[in-house]
Homo-oligomer: A and B are copies of this chain.
Amino acid sequence: VVKSERPRATLETVARRAGVSRATASRVVNGSSTVAQEIRESVTRAVRELGYVPNTAARSLVTHRSDSIALVLPEAHTRVFSDDQFFPRLIHGVSQELDAADKQLVLMLATEPGSHRRIEKYGLAGHVDGIIVASGHMADPLPAALMGTNIPVVSNERVFGGADIPFVGVDAVGGVAAAVRHLVGSGRRRIAHLAGPQDMPAGIDRLAGYRSAMSEAKLRQAVAVGDFTGASGETAMRQLVDDDPDLDAVVVASDLMAHGALRTLRKMGRRVPDDVAVIGFDDVDLCLYTDPALTTIRQPITEMGRTLVRQILRLSAGEEIQPSLVLPTSLVLRESA
């Protein structure tokens, strides 16, 4: 098969073939309403016959838009490349919505401080119409830096420190509180929390939800901190049991840690849920396969990705948006609680 190296059709070619000016051809391509039906058709035909596709470089040179959105993910962030599926699900949602809007997705993994400058520069350069930053730790300098450039930015977490970036989050506080209430409702009283890192909103909010529901129920609080990994879940769980051998429930800040907690509980001879009820957070596939199947707090990651895109698109279109949107979480009941 010989490749047909026929030079790519340009608007000029299309115009000539349709017997109109380049301007008119452009109007048709961009769906302007001020073009005669007849002419519109002949241009459309020329486009089809020539296999014309607009040159985006030329287009964005004049429109100052790129029709692409950057998604920036902190590479080092524990959760990103572990198997908690946050990353793939987020991308999935973002990609879906971007597709629908016919925009491109530019993915940037931020190796901690190294590529920050590169990303900032890229944003500045106007190569993208907007940036979605999936921030990890609070006080991550990147989001604020990005806000400095006058390109639209949204985040998946509220970010402290100077800039307040519009964000789309999930109601972790409410989710954990609901989980605690569920436990209280089923008679549990010595309910501990296996928390995530306290320098990330994801860790902080879940703890806050626990504290609020526990003090509301006037129960004594017990907290151990992990780093969202399975291994940390194992050790933190051991500590929790050592501190209070009579504990009868634990709400864990991630499913991976909950999985670790389950292992520890088995090793320590506690039956789940009979002796100790366990509730995770995230709702990853693994929940179905733990023994027993893990009750968990589900957060709608894919939906978050979609919403994030809708927000950044509005922003880049110059519209006003709500500074924050919080998506609901839900308790998924399985066997462990």
Contacts and interface: CB of A to CB of B under 8 A. Distances in A.
A141 interface: no
A82 interface: yes
Contacts of A53: 121, 124-125
A118 B99 CA distance: 9
A107 B107 contact: yes
Given A230-B285, A289-B230, A56 B125 contact: yes
Nearest to A95: B109
A328 interface: no
Contacts of A87: 88
Number of chain copies forming the complex: 2
Contacts of A92: 75, 81, 109
A150 B6 CA distance: 10
Contacts of A66: 57
Interface in A200-214: none
Contact of A104 (B81, B106, B111): B106
A60 B92 CA distance: 29
Contacts of A125: 8, 53-56
Interface in A84-110: 85, 87-89, 91-92, 95-96, 99, 102, 104-109
Interface of A: 3, 5, 8, 51, 53-61, 66, 68, 75, 80-83, 85, 87-89, 91-92, 95-96, 99, 102, 104-109, 111, 115, 118, 121-122, 124-127, 148, 150, 230, 259-260, 263, 284-286, 288-289, 291
- Closest 10 pairs between A and B when the two form their complex, measured CB to CB: A53-B125, A57-B60, A57-B61, A95-B109, A107-B107, A83-B83, A57-B57, A105-B107, A83-B285, A3-B150
Given A51-B124, A99-B109, A259-B289, 11 more contacts: A55-B125, A56-B125, A57-B60, A81-B92, A83-B284, A92-B109, A96-B109, A102-B118, A104-B106, A104-B127, A230-B288
